[in-house]
A = this chain, B = another copy of it.
């Protein structure tokens, strides 16, 4: 019993195909999944409407655009502070690429990317300046083994 699944096996195949190459034509995708061009078009349109596909995009290698440093910053709140007050402030920081509220010793976990390790200090100062943030602990990434992999869905 899995909730929220809004796709069937054909949709999964389409998502996998477009995840590998978002510019493949509907005709080509259709040949792969056994559907006409128009049918693929219709399904993609509906998946966009339902929010299954958030957007078409590109995968960019961070190092090639000067983002050479990555760290995970765990954030603990003050007693009264709520994640929902702090999260919007963290979203404003361009170095914070990803934010999750988490269970455990810390309340939030941020993925931070900067040009250089030395830039983390300034980001931490910005984070600590947000009302409700009590303390942070940073885990420095030495090497990203893999990330941003094309989506792989079972049954696709």
Distance in angstroms from A21 CB to nearest chain B CB is 6
Which positions 27-54 of chain A face chain B at CB distance < 8 Å? 50-54
Is A91 in contact with chain B by the CB < 8 A criterion?
A: yes
Contact of A147 among B2, B21, B55, B98 (CB under 8 A): B98
Distance in angstroms from A54 CB to nearest chain B CB is 4
Interface size range of chain A in the complex: 35 or more
A64 close to B7 (CB less than 8 A)? yes
B56 close to A21 (CB less than 8 A)? yes
Number of copies: 2
Distance in angstroms from A81 CB to nearest chain B CB is 14
In the complex, A81 Cα to B72 Cα: how many Å? 23
Which positions 95-139 of chain A face chain B at CB distance < 8 Å? 97-104, 106, 108-109, 111, 115-116, 139
B64 close to A6 (CB less than 8 A)? yes
In the complex, A148 Cα to B64 Cα: how many Å? 18
A55 close to B58 (CB less than 8 A)? yes
B153 close to A101 (CB less than 8 A)? no
Given the known A-B contacts A102-B140, A102-B142, are A20 and B55 also in contact in the complex, defined by CB atoms under 8 Å?
Answer: yes
* Among A21, A115, A145, residue most surrounded by chain B Cβ atoms (within 10 Å): A145
